[in-house]
Amino acid sequence: MRLKDKVAIVSGSGRGIGRDIALAYAREGADVVINDIDPATAAATAADAAKLGGRSLPVAADIARKEDVDRVVDAAMREFGQIDIMVNNAMKIVPGKLEELTEEAWDTTMNIGLRGAFLMSQAVARHMIARKSGCIVNIASIAGLFPYNWAGSYSVVKAGLLMLTKLQAVEWAPYGIRANAITPGYIRTPGTEAMYADPEIYEGRRKGVPMGRVGGGEDISGVAIFLASDDSQYTTGSVVGADGGQAVGYFLSVPGRRFSGGRLD
Ligand SMILES: NC(=O)c1ccc[n+]([C@@H]2O[C@H](COP(=O)([O-])OP(=O)(O)OC[C@H]3O[C@@H](n4cnc5c(N)ncnc54)[C@H](O)[C@@H]3O)[C@@H](O)[C@H]2O)c1
């Protein structure tokens, strides 16, 4: 068990990648705080985590709001007395073309993905700094490396999250806190299911991945375990890809042609 006696908060872990990470952490011996804006899914993930042997605590809260963030961190401290790992995962895409995007759509994505990650990290870091130990895992995206057109402010948020990761790494290294980011590629989750249910979209995207498949939450949770465990004790400020080689595919792609199963067609 690589996370025994550790306490982790995972934002947005009611479903999808966050849920998979929280359950994977529980399997590795961690106690997990399951945050989600949806109380029902938070409770369900926490119940499933508890079946894996460790302790779990659901906390329904909107991480875009400072008072909610403080409530999550206070609840974690009250229940478990320490916080070792913070996974900033919660997100909501509000898509739209730039020329049509409303202020509200821009702000929603920004406030959850970037402001929320900043506020959560700051609140946990105050406890981590006091203990001179801690670890932050930011779930960014390949969209933070390359523009994801028509996804509103999503790419900007994820690019910002990569820079926040680097700032956290350099500012908090003296306090024994590590901060790293994961950049998932195409991952099938409840959040993307509506899109992948369309066979044409699924196949088009699958073909664009050098490894020839769309990923699942388990493709991200293994990396998240590594970055939260002592196996990565000298790794901070890093951006770790989990994209089936897609970032390399972007590099090789030629306009009008598609990188498919290891070759261009
Ligand atoms: N699925 C993909 O293809 C993919 C690719 C790259 C990166 N990512 C990133 O991985 C993370 C998880 O993605 P997913 O596909 O599992 O998403 P999802 O939509 O399936 O799950 C997101 C969860 O976050 C919760 N949430 C939303 N707003 C919240 C808020 N304000 N406070 C607390 N919780 C909130 C939702 O209720 C939901 O349970 C996101 O950061 C996403 O950007 C996903």
Rounded Cα–Cα distance for residues 173 and 57 (Å): 29
Look at residue 258 and tell me whether its pLDDT is greater than 60: no
Q: Is 220 helix (H, G, I), strand (E, B) or coil?
A: helix
Look at residue 251 and tell me whether its pLDDT is greater than 90: no
Rounded Cα–Cα distance for residues 251 and 63 (Å): 35
Which ligand 1 atom sits nearest the alpha carbon of residue 113? 41
**83-92, 153-162, 249-258, range with the lowest pLDDT:** 249-258
Catalytic-labelled residue, pool 25, 148, 154, 186 = 154
- Mean pLDDT computed over every residue of the chain: 94
Q: Which residue among 189, 205, 214 is best mutated to probe the pocket of ligand 1, counting the most ligand atoms within 8 A of its Cβ? A: 189
Architecture of domain 7-189+216-244: 3-Layer(aba) Sandwich (3.40)
Enumerate residues 6+ apart whose C-beta is below 8 A from 132: 175, 176
Rounded Cα–Cα distance for residues 41 and 33 (Å): 13
Looking at per-residue confidence, does 186 or 248 come out higher?
Answer: 186
Residue-wise pLDDT for 87-137, tens only, equals 999 999 999 999 999 999 999 999 999 999 999 999 999 999 999 999 999
Known catalytic membership, residue 25:
no
Q: Tell me, in angstroms, the distance from the centre of ligand 1 to residue 17's CA.
A: 7
CA–CA–CA angle 258, 193, 259 (5° rounding) = 10
Residue-wise pLDDT for 20-43, tens only, equals 999 999 999 999 999 999 999 999
Q: What is the model's pLDDT at position 250?
A: 65
Look at residue 259 and tell me whether its pLDDT is greater than 50: no
Which residues does ligand 1 sit against, CB inside 6 Å? 11-12, 14-18, 35-38, 41, 62-64, 89-92, 112, 139, 141, 184, 186-187, 189-192
Domain layout of the chain by residue ranges = 7-189+216-244
**Residue owning the nearest CA to atom 38 of ligand 1:** 12
Over residues 131-146, mean pLDDT: 97
Query: Half-sphere exposure of 201 toward its Cβ, with a 13 Å CA cutoff?
Result: 10
Residue-wise pLDDT for 209-238, tens only, equals 989 999 999 999 999 999 999 999 999 999
